[in-house]
Structure 1
Amino acid sequence: MLWLKRSRTSGQQIGQNRIFKVMLCLIFAHIVEICLFAFAYKLMLSDPKFGSLAGIDVNSITDYLYYSSIVFTTLGFGDIVPKGLIRLFTSIESLTGISLVAWSMSVAFLEIQHVEENKKCD
């Protein structure tokens, strides 16, 4: 995000190309966040005191990535249900996810607004 802000103030990449790059950076950032939560689930659920994920047999990192992505986006299909202490971590991820997605949309809006303002000045 700092790189995006610095490039904006230096006047580089104005237009649709810039908006595309901003959106790609935001999507990449969310994918990284989802991966971090998935890794945390894998670590936490290796200890039975944190509970389990019920509904399907969660064995691989792709299952944790899937679960993390539906929690992060607050989509919540319901095919995997947290049991035990892991429910608290799940709720923290959903709050984090919805906050970061909202923040990302505000960043995208500001970038689009900046591009439109520069078009008017030209």
Structure 2
Amino acid sequence: MVASSCVIVALAVVLHYEVLSRLHRFLDVTKMGERPRILTLIFVLLFTHIAEIWLFGLSAFFLLQMPEQGGIVGLESITLFETIYLSATTYTTLGYGDLTPTGHIRFLYGTESLTGLVLVTWSASLTFIELQRQWQGRRRHP
């Protein structure tokens, strides 16, 4: 479980890095207006986070097919939708508490929570940098 979790975290971080890197370069060279730039930034970031949630959810779904990896209290059967839901609440650190992982799979969900916190913060930093550029541009060019 530790090795699987590390691979999944690495994939999520590399995905995030690649998307943010390309997005930042795109925003540097694009001639879009302020609104389209910000909307593009936000939608790309949202879809990237959704993809990362699905990465963790799909991984949990497949790992939970092996009973020795644990289970999820609150579910009669493990479904893809439920693992995606639990992934979303874990990644965002929302954690409703209606579903609880048990056994070794807890390690994956614990690392997902930390990873989600870091990646959401990373996205917020890029958003701030882009907004700061917009604000500074307004001051220089009234």
Alpha-carbon distance between aligned partners in 2 of 1:98 and 1:8, rounded to the nearest angstrom: 24
Q: Which amino acid is 1:114 matched to? A: R
**Selected match of 1:62 from 52, 60, 81:** 81
Output the aligned Cα RMSD: 1.3
Question: Could you tell which deviates more after superposition, 11-20 or 40-49?
Answer: 11-20
Alignment check: 8 A CA contact 2:61 2:78 kept: no
Alignment of 1:47-86 (within 5 A): 47-86=66-105
Alignment of 1:7-86 (within 5 A): 7-86=26-105
Per-residue CA deviation, residues 62-116 of structure 1 (Å, 9 max, x unaligned), is 1111010000001111110111001111100000001101111111111100111
Alpha-carbon distance between aligned partners in 1 of 2:30 and 2:46, rounded to the nearest angstrom: 23
- % identical equivalent positions: 34
Q: Which amino acid is 1:108 matched to? A: T
Runs of 5+ in structure 2 lacking a partner? Answer: 1-19
Corresponding position of 1:94 = 113
Question: TM-score w.r.t. structure 2 length?
Answer: 0.80
Q: How many residues align?
A: 122
Structure 1 residue 119, shift from structure 2 partner: 1.5
Runs of 5+ in structure 1 lacking a partner? Answer: none
Alpha-carbon distance between aligned partners in 2 of 1:58 and 1:66, rounded to the nearest angstrom: 14
Q: Measured at CA, do residues 58 and 119 of structure 1 come closer, stay the same or move farther in structure 2, by a change above 3 Å?
A: farther
